Amino acid sequence: MSVVEHSFEYMTILDFAPTAGTRPARSTEGIATIQLHDDLWRITRPDGEVLGYVECRATPAGVRFLAKRMLQRQRRFLPVGEFWDFDAAMECFRY
């Protein structure tokens, strides 16, 4: 019987520093946001019901935020509008 020795050396680096244009998960006035990746946030009610998504896009004129409302019965998204500011895009989910 022979014994084989292995030496494993590795390092995992997790970088959670926000990149330009990112927003942290937060909850304000009955709406919670969860950042899914650098350019996409899920907008929910505190009970977990999905209201829609906000997507960040780079355009020649600058960064825009596209708000999309989730239509549960039809299982599709309705684009609500494009905004220059993340908070402005979230406002359309308050009503």
Do 72 and 48 form a contact (C-beta atoms < 8 A)?
no
Q: What percentage of the chain has pLDDT greater than the value 90? A: 29
Q: Which amino acid is at 51?
A: L
DSSP 8-class letter at 92: T
pTM here is: 0.66
Q: In which band, very low, low, confident or very high, does the pLDDT at 65 lie, cut at 50, 70 and 90?
A: very high
**36 contact partners, CB below 8 Å, separation of at least 6:** 42
Q: In which band, very low, low, confident or very high, does the pLDDT at 28 lie, cut at 50, 70 and 90?
A: low
Residue 50 has pLDDT above 70, yes or no: yes
